[in-house]
Amino acid sequence: MVTTIQLQPETKSRLDTLKTHPRESYDETLNRIMDALIDPEPLSEETLQRIEESVADMRAGRGRPFEEYVQERDL
């Protein structure tokens, strides 16, 4: 099944710049972009919670500068 969609000229122009080669179809281009944007393995609730805790620690000043960490480990 094939469907026709309407695009503003500016949108088509932007889409053209995203093609990997001139003969790539718009369908291939859009699917490649969507595949890159959608994560097939979303973060677990545990990981999201740990990220939130880390952000809270940084905002509360419970962190160290990266340079200090590097220096401590002779990196």
The three-state DSSP-derived secondary structure of the chain is CCCCCCCCHHHHHHHHHCCCCCCCCHHHHHHHHHHHHCCCCCCCHHHHHHHHHHHHHHHCCCCCCHHHHHHHCCC
Per-residue pLDDT tens digits for 29-69: 999 999 999 988 889 999 999 999 999 999 999 988 899 99
Closest CA to 34 of 22, 18, 48, 49: 18
Per-residue pLDDT tens digits for 4-26: 999 999 999 999 999 999 999 99
- Residue ranges of domains in the chain: 9-42, 43-74
pTM, two decimal places: 0.55
